[in-house]
């Protein structure tokens, strides 16, 4: 059950989700409830790419919600995810971000686990013999190592992407995404082997939902981002499509870059800089790829934990890891494909400069999220407005709308406002919906997994 005491319910003006209470971003009790209902129950969360752990023993420390977990490849090639919490005294035992191990050992008392999380060794389990030959100490006779392994998460992989869940009763990954979003997921992760190009990491002082909102907001890039507006990579006049899964939690924004001769259509936008030019024109060395199938950019949001980015030749995952109600860690994993030419790999790396903490584009997003959170904290009784394009929720064939944000909060309300039944929240698709019950505690699940430790940092 949700352990946090609840304050008064949020007040939503106009009854729908077009006016979002600032308190949704500032209340600690709501944040703790979000962690339980979205990150730890009933949902799949992104943890990494198979290409990050190519060899037996390779591991990556990451997070599901605010819990530290380890993604690891076992000696038999199987992929496991275990919580980075020693079963003995609860220490986060893994501190390295990446590495290779034959097993995991907690430094505190040297409890040792294999790569699937099974407890293999306990020092002084049978005690020590004193000078008189008598055994002193040791674990109780009924102590069973098989009952004290690391907490193992359920794991699903598709197209080289790894997801995990503390809830072993969670629906299949394919059902979780739904057929509409699965189409766009498979477009990017189409079976080609991935190649890791690098990482960006940052800590943004804003509520984690603001990053989901940011990517579900298709018209701000044509207003906020000078780079996009001036060089025509993402503008309101681009051919576009906005689609959601049937529960409105996930979304894809699909855009096709137009001809760059239409500068007259954006000259009234203050972020348009007519005289802006590049010192290195190769940043705009865009080469269409066969797998695009037309669109030049597709941004897919999988609620609650990840954004899948294709912006022309730059492709990456963006992992959201909450850190209290007012901040989150944000990790970008830039990748390419093993069959890329050297020229294409360099092109992807150059275009990756648009993104990340100091990216030509993404630096703007981090700043506006921080400034928004500052305002929310100063005026928690107020509300944000998301009524561009109306108040309803529906797919769209243009960018001048906030429908995806309204859809996300329709789902959010359905889950957050559902009563607890049998110790687990109901997962719903709208404020009045009733849906499948989330599953039980992960500690009792049987799926194998591996372990490591450490708090996720920027």
pLDDT digits (tens, 9 = 90+) for 254-302: 998 865 544 545 545 555 666 777 788 888 889 999 999 999 999 999 9
Residues of the chain with pLDDT under 70: 1-6, 232-237, 258-274, 421-458
Q: What is the pLDDT of residue 445?
A: 32
Quick one: pLDDT at residue 90? 98
For residue 281, what is the DSSP state? G
DSSP at 10 = P
**Residue 358 pLDDT:** 83
CA dihedral (328, 159, 156, 144) positive or negative: negative
Given this model, what pLDDT does residue 411 score? 98
Contacts of residue 438, defined as CB under 8 A and 6 or more positions apart, other chains included, come to 37, 41, 42, 167, 169, 170, 424, 425, 426, 427
pLDDT recorded at residue 277: 77
Q: Which two tokens stand for residue 225?
A: 């981002």
Angle at 229 between CA 299 and CA 294, to 5 degrees: 45
Biggest CA–CA distance in the chain, Å, is: 94
Token pair 């995991």: residue: 104
SS3 helix, strand, coil % of the chain, rounded to 5?
25, 25, 50
pLDDT for residue 273 = 65
Closest CA to 25 of 371, 450, 442: 371
Beta strand ranges found along 314-430 (DSSP E): 314-322, 328-337, 383-385, 420-421, 424-425
Q: Specify the pLDDT at position 271.
A: 58
β 79-83/98-100 pair status: unpaired
């Amino acid at each position: 059950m949700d352990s946090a005491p609840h304050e008064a319910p949020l007040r939503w003006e106009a009854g729908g989700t077009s006016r979002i209470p600032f308190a949704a971003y500032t209340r600690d009790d709501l944040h703790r409830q979000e962690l339980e209902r979205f990150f730890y129950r009933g949902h799949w969360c992104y943890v990494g790419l198979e290409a990050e752990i190519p060899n037996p023993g390779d591991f990556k420390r990451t997070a599901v919600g605010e819990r530290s977990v380890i993604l690891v490849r076992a000696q038999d090639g199987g992929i496991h995810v275990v919580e980075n919490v020693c079963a003995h005294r609860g220490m986060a035992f893994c501190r390295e971000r990446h590495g290779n191990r034959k097993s995991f050992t907690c430094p505190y008392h040297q409890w040792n686990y294999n790569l699937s999380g099974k407890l293999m060794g306990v020092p002084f389990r049978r005690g020590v013999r004193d000078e008189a030959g008598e055994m002193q100490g040791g674990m109780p006779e009924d102590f069973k190592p098989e009952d004290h392994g690391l907490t193992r998460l359920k794991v699903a992989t598709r197209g080289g992407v790894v997801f995990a869940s503390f809830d072993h009763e969670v629906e299949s990954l394919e059902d979780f995404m739904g057929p509409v979003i699965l189409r766009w997921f498979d477009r990017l992760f189409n079976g080609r082997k991935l190649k890791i190009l690098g990482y960006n990491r940052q800590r943004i002082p804003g509520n984690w939902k603001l990053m989901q909102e940011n990517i579900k907001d298709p018209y701000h890039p044509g207003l906020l981002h000078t780079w996009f507006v001036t060089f025509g990579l993402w503008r309101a006049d681009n051919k576009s499509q906005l689609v959601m899964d049937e529960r409105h939690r996930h979304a894809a924004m699909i855009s096709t870059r137009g001809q760059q001769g239409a500068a007259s259509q954006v000259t009234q936008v203050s972020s348009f800089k007519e005289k802006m030019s590049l010192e290195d024109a190769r940043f705009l060395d865009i080469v269409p790829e066969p797998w695009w199938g037309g669109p030049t950019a597709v941004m897919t949001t999988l609620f609650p934990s990840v954004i899948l980015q294709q912006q022309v030749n730059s492709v990456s995952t963006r992992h959201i890891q909450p850190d209290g109600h007012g901040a989150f860690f944000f990790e970008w994993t830039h990748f390419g494909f093993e069959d890329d030419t050297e020229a294409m790999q360099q092109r992807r790396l150059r275009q990756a400069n648009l993104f990340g903490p100091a990216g030509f584009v993404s630096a703007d997003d981090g700043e506006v999220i921080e400034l928004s959170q500052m305002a929310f904290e100063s005026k928690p009784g107020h509300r944000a407005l998301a009524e561009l394009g109306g108040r309803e929720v529906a797919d769209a064939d243009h960018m001048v709308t906030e429908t995806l944000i309204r859809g996300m909060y329709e789902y959010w309300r359905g889950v957050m406002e559902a009563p607890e039944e049998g110790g687990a929240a109901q997962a719903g698709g709208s404020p009045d919906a009733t849906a499948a019950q989330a599953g039980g505690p992960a500690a009792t699940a049987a799926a194998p997994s591996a372990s490591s430790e450490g708090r996720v940092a920027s």
